[in-house]
Structure 1
Amino acid sequence: MYASLRDALLHGEYAPQQALRPQELATRHGVSLAVAREALLRLVGEGLADRLPNRGFAVPATGAERWKQISEARATIEPMAMHLAVERGDLEWESRVRASFHRLAGTPMHDRDGDPHLSDAWSEAHRLFHRALLEGCGNDVLIAIFDRLWTDGELARRWAAALSSLGRDALAEHRAIEEAALARDADLATELLRHHVGWTAVALNHRANMEV
């Protein structure tokens, strides 16, 4: 049940703030109430659901303060790690960055034409590219923080990416970051990454305003 519900949340099958009732989900998926609650608690831990006092569980809101805080934290941590990676990264780091960008560029963003939601394959390639960029920093603590923030912000990225009307070219952004990093231009790479990371918060704010 956990995997099925997680997939449904990431693919937009539940609306923001929609209730996630354990008994209904248990019946739908043919599992016990205990299993349903355990799955929901795992999703809460990943930032894909909220646990509400005396009200059960629900899909997070697009305008939640959490997304702004995650974006702010990423815009602080990732450029720092990026700057260190450009300064410290070796030839193996360069190879990983090139390979991860090649995978990202060659992976379809969507499973079907006209589907606004990101494919799981592209989302994983996206994560690996961003992680590869930062791994050259040589600081395991920064990478662990990146991993946590990435997991916590996955739903927000999926929602933001569905706003194709904002006219964003994600591949061009990633290519520019890769080129700056491999050219060892630390200042440019960090500035491009900071702008890139901040886009999710901008897109969600736009969506939240549309829903008012």
Structure 2
Amino acid sequence: MTEATDLSLQVGRQMLSEQVHAGLRAAIMRGDHAPGEALKPQELAREHGVSLAVVREALVRLVGEGLADRLPNRGFAVPAFSDRRWQEIAEARRAVEPVMLRMSVERGDLEWEARVRAAHHRLARTPMWSAQQGQYFSAAWSAAHYAFHRTLLEGCGNPVLMDTFDRMWTASELARRWSGHRTPGRDAAGEHQRLEQAALARDADSAVAVLAQHLTTTAAVLSGTTHDEPPEAP
């Protein structure tokens, strides 16, 4: 085998791994795989028409993102839905994200301010709920929600912390989608608006307090999650 051929095979395998990873990630986030369900490499390889090595690479990436667990002697599985797991994630977010937000408020420049304002504007104008194709959480709102929170924190200028945020966010987002219900009385839009206002006012103490309460409320919602019937369409 020539060096060029070997390189071509490596590139092809990487592309297949990217495709399988993207497909599995989307399927897990959609709820196609139940909490705790086994992700069997042999079955997935047949389903996607790829080798076991390609599937394993994709699964290892999902483990790194918090969307799969690697079980000793039992392969891979979708994370189990448990109050303890999500409370641990919430605890980690409450420990890390307020520190990042304080750094952002102190370090963020005018470009950061503009991005925060634009991200909040998009979030505020995007409907949260949708019954299209059975998805009650709007995919557009979920993307805008992530973008707003990430933009608030990226002013910290620390890529290691941002990678940590991305992983915690993905795990929390999975739990939120599994929750499948609305939260009566919660003013999420108001919480986001107060976050934007405090951050842009460069009031680090207020911004941190609002974010801490926001994360605490989210944790309480997820800890009370049930898996009954999905919500009625708006």
Q: 1:1-212 residue pairs with structure 2 within 5 A?
A: 1-63=20-82, 65-110=84-129, 112-113=131-132, 115-119=135-139, 121-160=140-179, 162-207=180-225
Higher RCO (CA-CA < 8 Å; seq separation 6+): 1
- Any unmatched runs of 5+ in structure 2? 1-19, 229-234
Cα deviation for residue 75 of structure 1 reads 0.6
Deviation per residue, 1:81-123 (Å, 9 max, x gap): 222333343322221110111122233435545633441x433
Call closer, same or farther: CA 1:3–1:142 in 2, change over 3 Å.
Answer: closer
Number of aligned positions between the proteins: 208
Distance 1:147 1:20 in 2: 23
Structure 1 unpaired stretches of 5+: none
The sequence identity of aligned pairs, in percent, is 59
2:138 and 2:33 map into 1 onto residues whose CA distance is 15
Contact 1:52 1:58 in 2 (8 A): yes
Partner SS, residue 201 of structure 1? helix
Distance in 2, Cα, partners of 1:105 & 1:70: 26
Q: Deviations over 1:122-163 (max 9, x none)?
A: 333222211221233344554343234334544234334x23
Structure index of larger Rg: 2
Query: CA shift at 1:208, angstroms?
Result: 6.3
1:166 & 1:20 partners in 2: Cα distance?
Answer: 35
Aligned pair in 2 of structure 1 residues 117, 49: CA closer, same or farther (>3 Å)? Answer: farther
